[in-house]
């Protein structure tokens, strides 16, 4: 029986790191081939042992491949799909690693033959460094790996991808493409733009020379994402504009609450119930500083609780305690899940806070 073939298109940080995880399996029954438009990256990936063989073109890489992994920047994905559509095996599994999923799923399902098994993917891992030389076999360890299977994707193809992901140490989360883009905008894409904004705010000030000397871990960590590849950032912006805009407006509102508290200072800005008992109900005046202190305390508690949350949507076990069935696994996408519920609760909390602010202004 001939060995299976896995093709990786794009040998940057993610593609090469994925390759390292695929080739480390001593019992594997597949070969890993790679292609990158920058031939230097191909050589680096091969030297690192992330691929078994270099390919001369997208056609060469995907021909007779059982699995095709597109690990290129988001805005390059369409071009890659156009190049491989005439050469991909009819029953192949095609996945990607892009930061947004709606565009990939819509274009792939439109362009590729219906017999091709399309399963979008997004490993929630990365680094401010880039390229194959920065690849790390442990990059995905403990990270979520979002999966957006096409309704036409076979059970076998999804199980195949799950097995490959398992080798990386990541855990799969099944999610709708649009739901993915909405949620990832809040926890991944907004932080990128906030990192840029914070750095620019200080860098463009008249105090940069002095402030930069005093910059410590807090500033360095919060602006780390600004060191990422601009091409990656542009792809996120162009393919996730609406969710990004919505979440940034919410962030602006959160900052507005903090500014209000700072400007009020020791002045009273509202009242709270002194006691939760209906029989002993009394109001107490609250200053801006007290409001901010309460906000800090509440947020600290919730942030510590976040560290204890189960990672992603936990895959249900079968009745006999064995391996989850395929229907159990796919059912997560339909049921929603813990992460989705938490994000919905948070959005509802923000809506309530916005309504309270409007009431206060009246």
Q: Name the residue with higher pLDDT: 90 or 275.
A: 90
When the pLDDT of each residue in the chain is averaged and rounded to a whole number, the result is 87
pLDDT score at 271? 81
**Domain range list for the chain:** 4-176, 181-361
Span 320-343, average pLDDT: 42
pLDDT in tens, 77-120: 999 999 999 999 999 999 999 999 999 999 999 999 999 999 99
pLDDT score at 273? 75
Q: Name the residue with higher pLDDT: 3 or 113.
A: 113
Residue 146 has pLDDT above 90, yes or no: yes
Give the CA angle between residues 200, 201, 204 to the nearest 5°: 70
- Look at the block and give the residue holding tokens 């996408």: 333
pLDDT score at 316? 39
Q: Would you state the structure tokens that stand for residue 352, as one six-digit string?
A: 């309530």
**Which is it for strands 144-149 and 117-123: parallel, antiparallel or unpaired?**
antiparallel
- Using a 10 angstrom Cβ sphere, with 0-12 exposed, 13-18 middle and 19 or more buried, the burial of residue 304 is exposed
Residue 328 has pLDDT above 50, yes or no: no
- Do 159 and 187 contact (CB within 8 A), yes or no? no
Rg from Cα positions in the chain: 24
Residue 358 has pLDDT above 80, yes or no: no
Residue 315 has pLDDT above 50, yes or no: no
Q: How confident is residue 314, by pLDDT bands cut at 50, 70 and 90?
A: very low
CA 290/CA 288 separation, integer angstroms: 5
Q: How confident is residue 337, by pLDDT bands cut at 50, 70 and 90?
A: very low
Count the residues in the chain: 362
Residue 124 has pLDDT above 70, yes or no: yes
Homologous superfamily of domain range 4-176: NAD(P)-binding Rossmann-like Domain (3.40.50.720)
CA 192/CA 227 separation, integer angstroms: 9
Residue 65 has pLDDT above 70, yes or no: yes
φ, ψ for residue 204, nearest 5 deg: -90, 0
Q: How confident is residue 308, by pLDDT bands cut at 50, 70 and 90?
A: confident
Residue 250 has pLDDT above 50, yes or no: yes
CA 203/CA 198 separation, integer angstroms: 9
* Max avg pLDDT among 50-54, 305-309, 312-316, 358-362: 50-54
- Domains 4-176 and 181-361 alike in fold: no
Span 307-329, average pLDDT: 50
Q: How confident is residue 200, by pLDDT bands cut at 50, 70 and 90?
A: very high
Homologous superfamily of domain range 181-361: 6-phosphogluconate dehydrogenase C-terminal like domain (1.10.3660.10)
Name which of 135, 121, 127 is nearest 41 in CA terms: 135
Residue 183 has pLDDT above 60, yes or no: yes
Residue 343 has pLDDT above 60, yes or no: no
pTM: 0.82
CA 3/CA 29 separation, integer angstroms: 6
Residue 209 has pLDDT above 60, yes or no: yes
- Helix boundaries (H) for the chain: 13-23, 39-48, 58-62, 77-84, 102-111, 155-168, 177-184, 190-203, 208-214, 217-222, 230-239, 241-264, 288-307, 326-335, 338-361
pLDDT score at 331? 44
Span 166-171, average pLDDT: 94
Residue 31 has pLDDT above 50, yes or no: yes
Percentage above 70 pLDDT, the chain:
83
Question: First CA to last CA across the chain, in angstroms?
Answer: 75
Name which of 73, 89, 108, 111 is nearest 7 in CA terms: 89
pLDDT score at 277? 57
CA 70/CA 72 separation, integer angstroms: 6
Which range (85-94, 157-166, 274-283, 300-309) has the least confidence?
274-283
φ, ψ for residue 280, nearest 5 deg: -120, 50
pLDDT score at 284? 84
Alpha-carbon torsion angle 215, 220, 221, 227, nearest 10: 160
Residue 346 has pLDDT above 70, yes or no: no
pLDDT score at 332? 44
């Amino acid at each position: 029986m001939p060995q299976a073939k896995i093709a990786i298109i794009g040998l940057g940080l993610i593609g090469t790191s994925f390759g390292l995880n695929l080739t480390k399996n001593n019992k594997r029954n597949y070969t890993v081939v790679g292609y990158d438009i920058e031939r230097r990256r191909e050589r680096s990936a091969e030297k690192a042992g992330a691929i078994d063989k270099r390919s001369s073109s997208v056609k060469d890489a995907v021909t007779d491949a059982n699995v095709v992994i597109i690990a290129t920047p988001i805005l390059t994905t369409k071009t890659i799909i156009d190049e491989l559509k005439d050469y991909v095996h009819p029953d192949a599994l095609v996945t990607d690693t892009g930061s947004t999923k709606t565009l990939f799923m819509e274009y792939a399902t439109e362009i590729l033959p219906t017999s091709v098994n399309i399963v979008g993917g997004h490993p929630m891992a990365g680094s401010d460094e880039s390229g194959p030389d920065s690849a790390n076999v442990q990059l995905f360890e403990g990270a979520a790996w979002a999966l957006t299977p096409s309704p036409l994707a076979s059970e076998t193809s999804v199980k195949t991808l799950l097995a490959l992901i398992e080798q990386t140490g990541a855990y799969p989360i099944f999610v709708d493409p649009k739901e993915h883009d909405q949620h990832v905008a809040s926890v991944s894409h907004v932080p990128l733009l906030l990192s840029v904004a914070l750095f620019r705010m200080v860098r463009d000030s008249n105090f940069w020379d002095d402030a930069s000397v005093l910059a410590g871990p807090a500033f360095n960590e919060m602006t780390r994402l600004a060191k990422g590849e601009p091409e990656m950032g542009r792809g996120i912006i162009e393919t996730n504009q609406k969710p990004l805009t919505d979440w940034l407006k919410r962030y602006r509102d959160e900052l507005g609450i903090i500014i209000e508290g700072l400007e009020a200072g020791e002045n009273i800005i509202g009242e709270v119930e002194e006691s939760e008992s209906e029989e002993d109900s009394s109001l107490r005046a609250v200053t801006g500083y007290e409001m901010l202190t309460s906000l800090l305390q509440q947020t600290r508690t919730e942030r510590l609780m976040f560290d204890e949350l189960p990672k992603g949507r936990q895959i249900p076990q079968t009745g006999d305690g064995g391996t989850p069935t395929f229907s159990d696994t796919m059912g997560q996408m339909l049921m929603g899940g813990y992460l989705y519920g938490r994000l919905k609760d948070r959005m509802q909390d923000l809506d309530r806070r916005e309504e309270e602010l409007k009431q206060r202004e009246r």
